[in-house]
Amino acid sequence: MTVLTAYHALLAAGELRPDPEQAAAAARLDRLAGELQAAPRRGSLLWRLAGRKPQAPRGLYLWGGVGRGKSMLMDLFFDQVAIERKRRVHFSEFMLEVHARINEERRKEVGDPIPPVAAALRDEARLLAFDEMMAGVTVVTTSNRAPADLYKNGLNREHFLPFIALIEQRLDVLALNGPVDYRRDRLGSQDTWLVPNGPEATADLSAAFFRLTDHEVSEPIPSDDLVVQGRTLHVPKALKGVAVFLVQEIVRRGARRGRLPGGGAALSHGDPGRHPAPGTGEPQRGGSASSR
């Protein structure tokens, strides 16, 4: 299945609504996937006959407001691009890894530690996928801002401007900034702050979960485990990008680690562009419940 056929399948299933900008982005990502797949595999006969590494396809900078489906399109692209050396990792976790590698190289005291780290990352993956960015020999990235607005009014921004110029030079810039916020549209009139906690709030939240996930009430709800910076976070209910957490468990685990003493906030996670979600409301300080 290609990126475009996967996108059209979601349209046919009613999971997505027709959107010209999403369709254009899907077509561009589909073309990029084909270009990446057409390149000879490293170490293959064609790769050796070329006598040099194949030139990387031109990348893509996909930007637009929240809820426009950027992450959904990136999911389709990463899932469908049929290359072996690809990796997906949370951006913060990736940067922690990069800094750890740089520190390790620095301890060797053999010069600039950054080039060997960059070379290792390049050799490990042709495509490196982040939550808000995909980068590798070919870069595909998403952002809520146009390149010229990155780090706007930031401290010492003049040092950042060469990076913006590099983006505009090396990447095709494509706007995904139409009028519909699909996260908010999917959520509809659902309240996102449910107080006080009690049977009515619980019933409202339960109905929202089943509506957002299109799950049958009688069917079991799967759970999941998320590994975040080496720690495992158990998600009691997780389906289609919507997660439900019990705040008591979050607080209890935090208190065991010396954090969040005496209270906490309800948590939720939604897959941007597809399934926004209210959180699970539980008592907090002052006896209220929250849904965020």
Q: What does the pLDDT read at residue 181? A: 84
User: By CB neighbour count within 10 A (0-12 exposed, 13-18 middle, 19+ buried), where does 115 fall?
Assistant: exposed
Task: Band the pLDDT of 256: cuts 50, 70, 90.
Answer: low
Q: What does the pLDDT read at residue 177? A: 84
Separation of alpha carbons 36 and 59, rounded Å: 10
DSSP state of 143: E
Q: What does the pLDDT read at residue 20? A: 93
* Residue keyed to tokens 């040092």: 159
Q: Which of 28-37, 126-135, 223-232 has the lowest mean pLDDT?
A: 126-135
| Residue spans of beta strands (DSSP E) within the chain | 59-63, 86-88, 127-129, 133-136, 140-143, 171-175, 224-228, 231-235, 237-239, 242-244, 268-269
* Residue keyed to tokens 């929250």: 290
Q: What integer is the mean pLDDT of 248-271?
A: 53
Secondary structure (3-state) at 108: helix
Phi then psi for 182, rounded to 5 degrees? -70, -25
Q: What integer is the mean pLDDT of 200-206?
A: 86
pLDDT, tens digit, 9 for 90 and up, residues 7-46: 999 999 998 999 999 999 999 999 999 998 987 766 666 5
Q: Which of 117-121, 132-136, 184-188 has the lowest mean pLDDT?
A: 132-136
What is the average pLDDT value for the chain, to the nearest integer? Answer: 79
Q: What does the pLDDT read at residue 255? A: 57
CB 86 within 8 Å of CB 128: yes
Q: What does the pLDDT read at residue 135? A: 60
CA 289 to chain centre: 28
Rg (CA), the chain: 22
Residues 6+ apart with CB under 8 A from 193: 290, 291, 292
174: pLDDT strictly greater than 70 = yes
Separation of alpha carbons 33 and 24, rounded Å: 14
The model's pTM:
0.67
State which amino acid sits at residue 151.
Y
Domains contained in the chain, CATH given: 3-175 (3.40.50), 182-287 (no CATH)
Reference 151, options 142, 161, 162, 141; nearest CA is 161
CA 5 to chain centre: 21
pLDDT, tens digit, 9 for 90 and up, residues 75-111: 899 999 999 888 887 777 888 899 999 999 999 988 9
CB 126 within 8 Å of CB 116: no
Q: What does the pLDDT read at residue 42? A: 65
